């Protein structure tokens, strides 16, 4: 499948700031499941800084926008060709050991309820069908409902609430996997459509678990599936903050507001 991306993020400040510094994980991952045909990231008034590929295999690009300024626009436009690998991250080069993703962070720290969820869904083979059962259990326990959680909601809080979004599903699945001794990480990217072919929030997140004999495998509890050719993978991290496509700081103390629009369309072959 060929997918076009048009992703615009606008930052507004209530008073001019001196400058803005950002780091971007906005370049599609390089692996057998996707091929970048064209890709461009622009930042209004911005200057590119250093670029490097981190231990997880993600390309990180620095940007600086001098001020004074009251608005910054980051735009991503591109075309990616995708292949369905049933969630397996085949051919992805990285140097970080999978075991480092056993470390819990605040958003992915498991409490007794998450531990109980893992045990109840484990079955006889914790490293076979177990991860798929965990993903289904998370989807059953946390109903998809936008607006009820925030960027700072933890997996334990979302489970107690019983509602959340893809970020909460991913955090919960990672917590369940880690408490049962399986490395798990958060993945950010794009989704063309949900499992029923209906319109879906195009900026998306899911989890990858490291399975013996397979390596990293993606699971998307929000859509009850593994990532396929409708997904574009950007980058990964310990949690949502660590894997954020855009991270940055504004110098000058102005209060920040953000607007995001994302359109993912299927291109003609």
Residue 152 pLDDT greater than 50, yes or no:
yes
Determine which of 23-32, 119-128, 208-217, 248-257 has the lowest per-residue pLDDT on average.
119-128
Q: How many other C-beta atoms are found inside a 10 Å radius of the C-beta of residue 261?
A: 12
Q: What are phi and psi of 127, to 5 degrees?
A: -110, 5
Q: Which of 42, 33, 56, 35 is nearest to 8 (CA)?
A: 42
Residue 66 pLDDT greater than 50, yes or no:
yes
For residues 130 and 184, state if they share a domain.
yes
> CA torsion, points 61, 92, 122, 191, in degrees to nearest 10?
60
For residues 24 and 156, state if they share a domain.
no
Residue 31 pLDDT greater than 50, yes or no:
yes
* Average pLDDT of every residue of the chain: 92
At residue 173, the pLDDT reads 97
For residues 204 and 94, state if they share a domain.
yes
Residue 215: CB partners within 8 Å, gap ≥ 6?
88, 89, 90, 98
How would you list the strands of the sheet with 215-219, edge to edge? Answer: 215-219, 203-211, 184-191, 231-237
At residue 129, the pLDDT reads 64
Determine which of 61-65, 236-240, 249-253 has the lowest per-residue pLDDT on average.
249-253
Residue range of the domain that includes 92: 85-237
Q: How many other C-beta atoms are found inside a 10 Å radius of the C-beta of residue 212?
A: 8
Q: What is the mean pLDDT of residues 51-76?
A: 96
At residue 194, the pLDDT reads 52
E strand map for 44-83: 47-53, 59-82
For residues 224 and 249, state if they share a domain.
no
At residue 250, the pLDDT reads 93
CB 60 within 8 A of CB 23: yes
For residues 102 and 224, state if they share a domain.
yes
For residues 227 and 102, state if they share a domain.
yes
For residues 186 and 66, state if they share a domain.
no
CB 73 within 8 A of CB 13: no
Q: What's the domain count of the chain?
A: 2
Residue 40 pLDDT greater than 50, yes or no:
yes
For residues 259 and 216, state if they share a domain.
no
For residues 172 and 258, state if they share a domain.
no
Per-residue pLDDT reduced to its tens digit, 187-213: 999 999 754 545 456 899 999 999 999
For residues 30 and 12, state if they share a domain.
yes
CATH assignment of the domain containing 50: 2.60.40.2250
Q: What is the mean pLDDT of residues 7-33?
A: 96
For residues 123 and 50, state if they share a domain.
no
CATH assignment of the domain containing 227: 3.10.620.30
For residues 74 and 121, state if they share a domain.
no
């Amino acid at each position: 499948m060929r997918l076009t991306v048009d992703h615009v993020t606008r930052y507004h400040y209530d008073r001019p700031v001196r400058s803005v510094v950002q780091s971007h994980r906005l370049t599609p991952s390089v692996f057998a499941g996707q091929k970048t045909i064209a890709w461009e990231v622009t930042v209004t008034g911005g200057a590119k800084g250093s670029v490097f590929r981190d231990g997880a295999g993600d390309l990180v690009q620095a940007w600086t926008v001098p001020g004074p300024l009251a608005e910054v626009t980051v735009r991503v436009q591109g075309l990616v060709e995708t292949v369905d690998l049933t969630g397996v991250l085949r051919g992805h080069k990285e140097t970080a050991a999978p075991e480092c993703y056993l470390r819990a962070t605040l958003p992915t720290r498991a409490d007794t309820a998450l531990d109980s969820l893992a045990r109840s869904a484990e079955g006889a083979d914790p490293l076979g069908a177990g991860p798929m059962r965990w993903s289904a259990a998370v989807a059953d326990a946390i109903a998809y409902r936008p607006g009820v959680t925030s960027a700072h909601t933890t997996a334990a809080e979302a489970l107690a609430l019983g509602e959340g979004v893809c970020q909460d599903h991913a955090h919960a699945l990672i917590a369940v996997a880690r408490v049962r001794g399986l490395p798990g990480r958060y993945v950010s990217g794009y989704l063309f459509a949900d499992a029923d072919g209906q319109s879906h929030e195009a900026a998306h997140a899911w989890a990858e678990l490291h399975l013996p004999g397979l390596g990293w495998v993606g699971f998307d509890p929000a859509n009850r599936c593994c990532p396929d050719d409708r997904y574009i993978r950007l980058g990964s991290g310990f949690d949502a903050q660590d894997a954020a496509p855009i991270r940055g700081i504004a110098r000058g103390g102005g209060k920040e507001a953000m607007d995001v629009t994302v359109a993912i369309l299927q291109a003609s072959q």
